[in-house]
């Protein structure tokens, strides 16, 4: 599903590599936490998976594709198989919940009939039935993140990438989001989630990959957040 | 591709940025209008050249009772001189054809030419107009040969090259064309910068949308098309207005003024104006489309 082979990424403005000789294998259907302090390379890791950046050396394979060989015009079609969720939700403030989710389908050219069918389905899945006509600023943070998850999942991606999805949420709301991500994972979607939230990692008992200074310092199948946490 | 989605995006973009859009359209209108004017001036020059170059190129005026040239010494041309000149003109190697125009013929041509000014015609008698030989040359540039051979001949009042008489007119027109093109060039440059700026502002104000579009895998075309079309539509509107400007200018300048005051030539008609319109539209669309495209490549990298 995902394979990084000896990946190093050096940004032009920096002398220290953001990732330094990282090799990770992630199987289909896995749920992986990516932990580490700020600047440890988590964001770079996720950017490489989306081909938002290319590694300086090493190879990145995602969804059976060698990203170095993926021509740039194919990148959008590749990204359609991946859902993304972020700390700041990234919803469009001038569109309703339904429109926000539908937007993701409209811009990849899905027919209106499909959109009208799948959007209510996915809103129900994330627990937002009956709130489709609301504007994002009328919703709580947890609900907004559910909209973002709905948008990421509406296209039934093979892989869901979550970059600190609970970073802006209080602990009890975070639990709800994690339950949602867990449900999505159980449908067979691989989930890779970068997080700082020790409580969540410890309670989920899933695979943990810890980055520090651009190196993988820990890779446990049923891990906890960290020894110091 | 969902046309309705793209169209609504374009409309929102143009309206959000209304003042800039207006500035852009007006600049395009003025600059493309100047391009249109330059093109029409060229058409006019061609029209005049066609009109005149078809006709006699050199006119040998013969001495009449009103001639002031010292060559005539106040005397009218004699029958003998007239025949001699005719014979010599016909045997000159550079000459293709010679027509004789009598005073009476000159008078009827004069009357025809100024039929809209009866006062002028009434004041001129047939006798006041000079008789002449109208000479068609094999090569119009050989005027000097004929002029030097005949202008001092007894009975010749003056030798006039119509091309030479028209040269200042053509010169003014070609200078005007050059000026219009240069001004058009500068303002088109400004228009291109404005297109680029408009598109950049539009891309910036919609970076949230485009960010999400990138994320969910919208194709480059889908992301860029609304911006590109925004530029193209502005170009199209500017070119359409410029075409209107050119048509209005042609009507007021040519139809209302020049056609009545200047009788000696043809003027461009609506056919020429309509012929210019596709070029203006093409130029407007291509320029603004290209400017948008290049701007997008820099500011909307996928």
User: Cβ(A146)–Cβ(A181) under 8 Å?
Assistant: no
Calculate how close chain B gets to A127, using CA atoms only, in Å: 22
**What is the distance between the alpha carbons of residues A74 and B283, in angstroms, rounded to a whole number?**
33
Taking alpha carbons only, the member of B292, B293, B280, B297 closest to residue B194 is: B292
Q: Do A78 and B208 touch (CB under 8 A)?
A: no
Q: Which of B91, B151, B102, B160 is nearest to B131 (CA)?
A: B102
Instruction: Report the side by side order of strands in the sheet with A2-9.
Output: A19-26, A2-9, A57-62, A65-66
Average pLDDT over residues B220-247: 90
pLDDT digits (tens, 9 = 90+) for B255-274: 888 877 776 677 888 888 89
pLDDT in tens, A206-225: 999 999 999 999 998 888 88
Concatenated DSSP letters of A90-115 = ---TTS-HHHHHHHHHHTTT--HHHH
**Chain B interface, Cβ < 8 Å to A:** 1-2, 5, 208-209, 211-220, 222-223, 302
CB B42 within 8 A of CB B279: no
Residues 123-142, chain A: which have Cβ within 8 Å of B? none
A72 and B CB contact within 8 Å: yes
Over 50: is that where the pLDDT of B111 sits? yes
Tell me which residue has tokens 């291109």: B192
- Contact yes or no for B215 and A108 at CB 8 A: no
Give the residue on A whose Cα is nearest the Cα of B226: A107
**What is the pLDDT, as a whole number, of residue B55?**
62
Kindly identify which residue of chain A lies nearest to residue B222, measuring between CA atoms: A107
B208 closest CB neighbour out of A78, A92, A155:
A92
CB pairs under 8 A between A and B: 56
Shortest distance, CA B296 to any CA of chain A (angstroms): 15
Distance CA A95, CA A119 (A): 14
Interface check for A171 against chain B (CB to CB < 8 A): the answer is no
Q: Mutating which of A76, A112, A150 best tests the B interface, going by the most B Cβ atoms within 10 A?
A: A76
Please say whether the beta carbons of B122 and B163 come within 8 A: no
- A173 token code pair: 């709301």
C-beta of residue B196 within 8 angstroms of C-beta of residue B291: yes
pLDDT in tens, A179-213: 999 999 999 999 999 998 888 999 989 999 999 99
Beta-carbon-side half-sphere exposure of residue A119 (alpha carbons within 13 Å): 23
Of the candidates B5, B215, B302, the beta carbon closest to that of A84 is on B215
Which residues does residue A191 pair with via DSSP β-bridges, in sequence order?
A31, A160
CB contact under 8 A, B220 and A76: yes
What does each of the 229 residues of chain A score in pLDDT, given as a tens digit?
899 999 999 999 888 899 999 999 999 999 999 999 888 899 999 999 999 999 999 999 999 999 999 998 899 999 999 999 999 999 999 999 999 999 999 889 899 999 999 999 999 999 999 999 999 999 999 999 999 999 999 999 999 999 999 999 999 999 999 999 999 999 999 999 999 888 899 998 999 999 999 999 999 888 888 764 4
Half-sphere exposure of A148 (CA within 13 A, CB side): 29
User: Is B217 within 8 Å of A109 when comparing Cβ atoms?
Assistant: no
**Contact at CB, B216 and A104, closer than 8 angstroms:** yes
Which of A78, A82, A109 minimises the CB distance to B1?
A109
Which residues have CB under 8 Å from B284's CB, separation 6+? B28, B32, B235, B236, B238, B239, B242
Nearest-Cα residue of chain A relative to residue B4 = A106
- Give the rounded percent of residues in chain B with a pLDDT score beyond 70: 95
Compute the nearest-CA separation of A72 from chain B (Å): 8
């Amino acid at each position: 599903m995902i394979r990084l082979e000896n990946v190093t990424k050096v940004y032009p403005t920096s002398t220290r590599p953001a990732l330094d000789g990282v090799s990770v294998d992630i199987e289909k259907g896995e749920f992986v936490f990516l932990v580490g302090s700020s600047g440890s390379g988590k964001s770079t890791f996720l950017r490489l998976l989306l081909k938002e950046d290319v590694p300086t050396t090493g190879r990145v394979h995602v969804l059976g594709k060698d990203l170095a060989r993926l021509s740039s015009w194919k990148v959008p079609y590749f990204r359609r198989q991946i859902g993304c969720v972020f700390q700041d939700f990234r919803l469009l403030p001038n569109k309703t919940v339904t429109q926000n989710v539908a937007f993701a389908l409209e811009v990849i050219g899905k027919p209106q009939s499909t959109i009208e069918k799948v959007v209510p389905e996915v809103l129900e899945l994330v627990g937002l039935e009956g709130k489709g006509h609301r504007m994002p600023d009328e919703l709580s943070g947890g609900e907004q993140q559910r909209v973002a998850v709905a948008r990421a999942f509406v296209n039934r991606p093979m892989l869901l990438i979550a970059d600190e999805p609970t970073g802006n949420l209080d602990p009890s709301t975070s639990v709800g989001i994690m339950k949602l991500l867990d449900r999505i994972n159980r449908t067979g979607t691989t989930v890779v989630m970068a997080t700082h939230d020790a409580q969540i990692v410890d309670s989920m008992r899933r695979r943990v990959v810890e980055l520090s200074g651009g190196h993988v310092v820990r890779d446990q199948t049923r891990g906890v957040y960290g020894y110091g946490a | 591709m969902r046309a309705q989605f793209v169209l609504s995006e374009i409309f929102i973009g143009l309206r959000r940025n209304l003042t800039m859009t207006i500035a852009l359209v007006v600049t395009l209108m003025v600059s493309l209008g100047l391009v249109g004017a330059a093109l029409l001036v060229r058409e006019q020059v061609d029209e005049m050249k066609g009109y005149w170059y078809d006709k006699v190129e050199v006119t040998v005026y013969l001495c009449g009772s009103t001639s002031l040239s010292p060559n005539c010494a106040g005397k009218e041309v004699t029958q003998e001189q007239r025949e001699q000149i005719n014979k010599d003109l016909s045997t000159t190697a550079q000459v293709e054809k010679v027509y004789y125009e009598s005073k009476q013929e000159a008078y009827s041509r004069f009357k025809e030419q100024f039929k809209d000014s009866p006062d002028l015609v009434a004041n001129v008698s047939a006798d006041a107009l000079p008789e002449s030989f109208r000479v068609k040359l094999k090569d119009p540039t050989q005027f000097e040969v004929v002029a030097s051979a005949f202008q001092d001949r007894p009975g010749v009042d003056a030798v006039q090259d119509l091309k030479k008489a028209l040269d200042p007119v053509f010169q003014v027109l070609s200078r005007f064309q050059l000026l219009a093109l240069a001004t058009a060039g500068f303002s088109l440059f400004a228009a291109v910068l404005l297109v680029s700026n408009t598109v950049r502002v539009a891309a910036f104000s919609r970076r949230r949308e485009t960010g999400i579009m990138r994320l969910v895998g919208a194709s480059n075309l889908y992301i860029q098309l609304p911006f590109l079309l925004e530029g193209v539509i502005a170009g199209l509107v500017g070119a359409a207005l410029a075409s209107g400007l050119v048509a209005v200018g042609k009507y007021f300048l040519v139809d209302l003024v020049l056609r009545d005051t200047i009788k000696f030539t043809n003027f461009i008609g609506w056919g020429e104006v309509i012929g210019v319109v596709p070029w203006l539209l093409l130029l407007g669309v291509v320029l603004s489309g290209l400017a948008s495209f290049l701007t997008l490549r820099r500011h909307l990298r996928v």
